[in-house]
Structure 1
Amino acid sequence: MSSDSEADQRGLLDHVLLPVANEADALATARGLAPYDPDHVTALHVVEKGEGVPDKTPVEQSEELAEESYAAVRSVFPDADEHTAYDRHVVEAIFEAADDVGASAIAFHARGGSRLLQFLSGDITLKLVTNADIPVLALPDEDSDE
C-alpha cells in the first residue's frame, strides 16, 4: 500500500473503490455513496474462481454480470472506472484491487443475510472491515433515514 506520508496527503474520498456483486447491488451501493461526493470512483466486480472445483458461474455469465454492474454504477457516477478481478477469495481480491487502482478508501453496501449465511460465506463484511489497510466505509441502506 502507499506510504504513510502519501496517505496523510490524500483525502478519504479522493479515489473510492466500490465492490459490487450485481446490477441491483451496484445501483444501491452507488446511490449510497453519491451523497458523499467522492472525487473518483472505480467499480470492482470479483469473479469468484474455483481452484480445482467448478466455478460458481460460467466466466462469460460473470463478465456479463460485471458489465451490467458497471453500467449501473455509471448511471450515478458517469466517469467511474471499472476493474474486474478473478479470484477464489473475494476479500483478498478487493484488497489487491484497491492497491492496484490506488484507492484511498473502499466503500460497500452490506448485503445482509442471516447469521448462518454469513458464517457459511466466511462473513465477508467482517473480514473487509477488520483486515483492510485503507479506510472502509459501510454505506447506509437506501431506505435508511440516517
Structure 2
Amino acid sequence: MTDSTDPPGILSRPLVPVASEDDAVETCRTAFPRIAAAGGRPVVVHVIEKAGGAPDKASVEQREAAAEEAFAAVRDCAADYGLDVETEVRYGTDVVDAIVAAAADADASAIVFHPRGGSWLLDLLTGDVRDRLIAESDRPVVVLPDETDDGAGAEDDQ
C-alpha cells in the first residue's frame, strides 16, 4: 500500500514580502490567520532597493532600521496567531527579482501579499510590481483580498 500523504498546501511555506511597518501590520493581519489555519510557516522578506550606481534615497542603515521595525510588527502579529516566522532582508536593484529569488531560496510554496491601498497614483506605481510579480514568478502568487480585520486573534473586550 502506498502512502497517501497529502502534498504540502499553498500556504505551507509562503513567502510574504513587506515594504514598511504599516504594510507589515496590514499584510500580516490579512495573511497570518489564513497561514495559521493551514498550519504554515511563513518567511517574511523586506527588500532594500539599491539604486544601481545612482545615489540611494536613504542610507543603508536607515533602510535596515526600517526593515527591523517592519519585522518587529511581523513578530508581534505572528505571536497573536501562534506562528513561527522567519524574516530576511534582501538587497537588490529590482524588487521583483529580489522577491522571486528569495522565494526560490526559501523553497516557498507561494508568494503571498496584500496589495497596498491608496490613491490611483500609488496603484499605478505599485501595480507594475504586482503585475510583474504575478507574471514572472515560478511559483503561485496569492493576492489576498482587501478586508477589515474582524478581530481574529485578538482578545474580546468584556
Q: Give the TM interval when normalised to the shorter protein.
A: 0.7 to 0.9
SS at match of 2:74: helix
Aligned to 1:5: none
Show the counterpart of 2:9.
Answer: 11
TM-score (norm 2): 0.78
The Cα shift of 1:94 comes to: 0.3
Q: Residue in 2 aligned with 1:105?
A: 110
TM-score, length basis structure 1: 0.84
AA partner of residue 63 (structure 1): E
- Aligned-partner Cα distance in 1 for 2:122–2:19: 16
Are 2:84 and 1:86 equivalent residues in the alignment? no
1:41 aligns with 2:42: yes
Out of 14, 19, 23, the residue aligned to residue 25 of structure 1 is 23
Unpaired runs of at least 5, structure 1: 1-7
1:46 Cα deviation from its structure 2 partner? 0.2
1:116 Cα deviation after fit: 4.3
Q: Is the 8 A contact 1:48 1:88 kept in 2?
A: yes
**Runs of 4 or more consecutive aligned structure 1 residues displaced over 4 Å after TM superposition:** 113-122
Q: What is the total number of aligned residue pairs between the two structures?
A: 138
User: Whole-Å Cα distance in 2 between the matches of residues 64 and 122 of structure 1?
Assistant: 26
Q: Does 1:51 align with 2:43?
A: no
1:122 shift after superposition:
6.8
Residue number in structure 1 paired with 2:139: 134
Offset at residue 35 of structure 1 (A): 2.3
Which has the larger Rg?
A: 2
Could you tell me how far 1:140 is from its partner in structure 2?
A: 2.1
Rounded Cα–Cα distance in structure 2 between residues aligned with 1:143 and 1:99: 31
Could you give the per-residue CA deviations for residues 75-129 of structure 1, whole angstroms, max 9, x where no partner exists?
1214211111100100010000001111101111101344444445671111112
Q: Distance in 1 between matches of 2:140 and 2:125?
A: 26
Does structure 2 retain, via aligned residues, the 8 Å contact 1:129–1:136?
yes
Q: How much identity, in percent, do the aligned residues show? A: 47
**Could you tell me whether the CA contact under 8 Å between 1:49 and 1:88 is conserved in 2?**
yes
